[in-house]
Amino acid sequence: MIPKGISNPQRQLPLAGADNVRDLGGYTTKSGQITQFHRFVRSGDMHSLSLDDQQVLLDYGIKSVIDLRMSWEIKAQPNVFHQSSMLDYRIHDFWGNRFDDYRSINKTAPPARKLADLYCRGLELSGAVMAEIMHTFAEKQTGYLFHCRSGKDRTGLVAAMLLAIAGVSENTICQDFALTQQYLKTGTINPIAASAPGAWQKTCERETMQFTLDFLTDHYGGAVSYLQHIGLLSSELQCIKDSLTG
């Protein structure tokens, strides 16, 4: 069943120079609240944004851009806002060099499981970075855009944490993750043959996020408990929740 709010026409920000740009607003939480638009936007790469695209984001209310990419990615394709005086630009490199030699340990697992294994390992090894990201989000209530390259993996994990804080159901979180298949128009998801080595990294199935959330439940008691484990204060979590739903 597709949760109410997934196909909300307000979700997508159709920019000419970026893919997979969408708002986390419009989702119903388990307590009946609605996540608000113009608070948190997720995106793919932003190095090709036109001046018109940039103005669209500023007019939309974006006040802070969080770049989740690695240093070599940023050097090769700088974010157009990296020296802007119009908003706050910050780098929170989620992968770092911790996964330069990563290989899936389960060679026979389906792609969704292999990608989930990477996500789970990332949440463990990059917990301090995830904490820094959430500390940043707790600083003020509106206007954040966060992105990586395709807006799928690193961005998807951050989006999942935000929606979990808001109290959105796991089914909705998984469906939001899988929306990348709809919004990523450049073919970045799977430009190589499905049988090729590493092709599992290009997939975007809802099962991947479900496996990841199950891991957090089994090892920490859930996504919110994981965030508390890595150092988020209750007051910070409440601030982020209020930003999303207030």
Q: Which residue has the higher pLDDT, 67 or 246?
A: 67
Mean pLDDT value across residues 92-110: 84
- What is this structure's pTM? 0.92
Model pLDDT for residues 54-96, shown as the tens digit of each residue: 999 999 999 999 999 999 999 999 999 999 999 999 999 999 9
Q: Which residue has the higher pLDDT, 71 or 195?
A: 71
Res. 188: pLDDT tops 60: no
Res. 200: pLDDT tops 70: no
Sheet strands side by side (includes 144-147)? 22-23, 40-43, 144-147, 64-67, 88-91
pLDDT of residue 3: 58
Q: Which residue has the higher pLDDT, 118 or 99?
A: 118
Q: How confident is the model at residue 105 (pLDDT cuts 50, 70, 90)?
A: confident
Q: Which two tokens stand for residue 183?
A: 């919004």
pLDDT of residue 8: 84
Q: How confident is the model at residue 204 (pLDDT cuts 50, 70, 90)?
A: confident
Res. 195: pLDDT tops 70: no
Q: Is the dihedral of CA 74, 116, 15, 58 positive or negative?
A: negative
Least confident window among 50-64, 145-159, 176-190: 176-190
Q: How confident is the model at residue 196 (pLDDT cuts 50, 70, 90)?
A: very low
pLDDT of residue 95: 94
Mean pLDDT value across residues 15-43: 96
The ranges assigned to domains in the chain are: 22-245
pLDDT of residue 182: 86
Q: Are 30 and 15 in contact (CB under 8 A)?
A: no
CATH code assigned to 22-245: 3.90.190.10
pLDDT of residue 44: 95
